[in-house]
């Protein structure tokens, strides 16, 4: 591509729960990773569009064939609709970013859950064909590390919805041994919280979306700073319910697997660098916003000589910003050409 052509670089974070884009023109957009197609003629008339994306799709789900196309870090298997949903999310983000300006050549770095990177890379390339001119696909924790320049002697723990991705950065592109993926993440907390509420308060009526909202509002580990008092219908009548203990137990289900994985990865670091890595553990992903998580993980590091666990500043855009930083630094031969 000649230097004279207008080039827009974009960084995309394709996530299970939210997907985001940051561009070299300074734009930022985020969309919930839901896509819905009106189920019948009536729904088409009400919705007035052939496909609905993001929060609007979730809100209108009774009228839609609703898809959340990623699950446990992977594009759901065997459904053309889920692949189509991924395509809709990506093209929607790119359209928002380019504002329909087709004159511009677009190059995109797409950060995806580490497991998607392993399994679905080929499908993603196929989906992106014709959408952008050049493409690089990277794993999400690597994009986050790149964006915050945490490239050497650091550990990134990206707590998403479908998966938690761990990655130790050793100043080069991470290998399989430097990374781990757990399906203990936001969605597994939601499922456990729903189960616990159901067991402890069988009379309360709720949906998984309500449970997720409660967790986002009250999620914590360790000692509670306040009670989690939520309002939910009981036999059709709105009532206050105290779910503090259930929230704590559900959120704390992350601690043992996180600690174990952190220690396992640390043990594989060259002995003279382990201390540095322990002092540089970064939590990203919105799931890391569970209150007290960093402190509890720090406690787990005490036995090993102590360490520091911090939160990235902007968990919503850390991945997209990191992907954009990669796009801006990438050499001409790093890019895959994907023009149709």
Residues that bind ligand ATP (CB under 6 A): 15-18, 70, 73, 113, 140, 158, 160-163, 185-187, 212, 215-216, 219, 285-287, 289-290
Rule CB under 5 A: say whether 322 interacts with Mg ion. Answer: no
The one of ligand ATP, Mg ion, none whose footprint includes residue 321, by CB under 5 to 8 A per kind, is none
For position 160 contacting Mg ion by CB under 5 A, the verdict is yes
- 15 touches Mg ion (CB under 5 A): yes
Count of residues touching Mg ion (by CB under 5 A):
3
Q: Which is nearer to ligand ATP, 47 or 169 (CB)?
A: 169
Q: Fill in the per-residue mask, 126 to 155: x = in contact with Mg ion (CB under 5 A), - = not in contact.
A: --------------x---------------
Distance CA 215, CA 76 (A): 24
User: Of 265, 286, 293, nearest to 167 (Cα)?
Assistant: 265
Provide the terminal-to-terminal Cα distance of the chain, rounded to the nearest Å: 15
Contact flag: residue 69 with Mg ion (CB under 5 A): no
CA quadruple 301, 304, 306, 311: dihedral positive or negative?
Answer: negative
Scanning the chain, the segments in alpha helix (DSSP H) are: 41-47, 55-59, 80-98, 114-119, 121-128, 140-147, 186-200, 208-218, 244-252, 255-267, 274-278, 293-302, 318-329
Per partner kind, with CB cut-offs from 5 to 8 A, the member of Mg ion, ligand ATP, none near residue 87 is none
φ, ψ of residue 34 in degrees (nearest 5): -120, 140
In DSSP terms, 135 is beta-bridged to 108, 336
Q: Check: CB of residue 156 under 8 Å from CB of residue 297.
A: no
* Residue 111 binds to Mg ion (criterion: CB under 5 A): no
Strand 70-71 to strand 52-53: parallel, antiparallel, or no bridges (unpaired)? Answer: unpaired
> Which token pair is 298?
């720090």
Q: Which residue is nearest to ligand ATP (CB)?
A: 186
Maximum Cα–Cα distance across the chain: 67
| Smallest gap from residue 77 Cβ to ligand ATP (A) | 16
Residue 212 contacts which entry, ligand ATP, Mg ion, none (Cβ below 5-8 A, type-dependent) = ligand ATP
Query: Least CB distance from residue 44 to ligand ATP, whole Å?
Result: 29
Q: Which does 54 bind (CB under 5 to 8 A by kind): ligand ATP, Mg ion, none?
A: none
d(CA 141, CA 72): 15
Q: Which is nearer to ligand ATP, 134 or 321 (CB)?
A: 321
| Shorter beta-carbon distance to ligand ATP: residue 152 or 249 | 249
Which of Mg ion, ligand ATP, none interacts with 9 (beta carbon under 5 to 8 A by kind)? Answer: none
Q: Which is nearer to ligand ATP, 8 or 255 (CB)?
A: 255
Cα distances from 275 to residues 157, 245, 264, in angstroms, run 17, 35, 14
The option from ligand ATP, Mg ion, none interacting with 307 (CB < 5 to 8 A, set by class) reads: none
State the minimum distance, in angstroms, from the CB of residue 26 to ligand ATP: 22
CB of 74 to ligand ATP, least distance (A): 9
The minimum distance between CB 4 and ligand ATP, in angstroms, equals 37
C-alpha to C-alpha distance for 202 and 246, rounded to whole angstroms: 13
Q: How far is CA 253 from CA 47, 71, 72, 196, 286, in A?
A: 40, 19, 16, 12, 17
Shortest Å distance, C-beta 287 to ligand ATP: 4
The residue ranges that bind Mg ion (CB under 5 A) are 15, 140, 160
């Amino acid at each position: 591509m000649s230097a004279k052509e207008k080039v827009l670089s974009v960084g995309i974070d394709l996530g299970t729960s939210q997907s985001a884009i940051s561009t070299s023109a300074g734009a930022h957009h985020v969309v919930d990773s839901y896509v819905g197609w009106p189920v019948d003629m009536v729904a088409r008339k009400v919705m007035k569009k052939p496909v609905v994306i993001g929060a609007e799709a979730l809100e209108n789900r009774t009228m839609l064939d609703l898809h959340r196309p990623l699950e446990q870090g992977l594009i759901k298997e065997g459904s053309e609709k889920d692949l189509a949903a991924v395509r809709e999310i990506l093209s929607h983000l790119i359209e928002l970013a380019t504002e329909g300006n087709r004159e511009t050549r677009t190059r995109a770095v797409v950060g995806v859950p580490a497991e998607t990177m392993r399994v679905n890379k080929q499908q993603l390339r196929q989906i992106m064909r014709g959408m952008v001119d050049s493409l690089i696909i990277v794993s999400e924790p690597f994009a986050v590390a790149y964006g915050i320049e945490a490239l050497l002697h650091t550990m990134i723990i990206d707590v998403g919805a479908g998966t938690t991705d761990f990655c130790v950065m050793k100043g080069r592109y991470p290998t399989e041994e430097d990374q781990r993926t757990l399906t203990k993440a936001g969605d597994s907390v939601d499922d456990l919280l729903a189960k616990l509420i159901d067991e402890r308060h069988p009379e309360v009526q709720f949906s998984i979306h309500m449970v997720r909202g409660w967790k986002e509002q009250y999620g914590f580990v360790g000692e509670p700073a306040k009670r989690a008092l939520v309002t939910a219908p009981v036999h059709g009548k709105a009532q206050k319910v105290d779910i503090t203990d259930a929230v704590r137990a559900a959120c704390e289900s992350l601690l043992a697997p996180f600690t174990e994985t952190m220690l396992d990865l640390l043990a594989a670091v060259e002995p003279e660098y382990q201390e540095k890595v322990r002092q540089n553990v970064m939590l990203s992903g919105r799931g890391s916003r569970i209150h007290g998580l960093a402190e509890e993980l720090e406690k787990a590091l005490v036995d090993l000589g102590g360490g520091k666990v911090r939160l990235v500043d902007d968990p919503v855009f850390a991945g997209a910003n990191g992907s954009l930083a990669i796009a801006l630094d990438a050499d001409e031969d790093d890019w895959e050409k994907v023009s149709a």
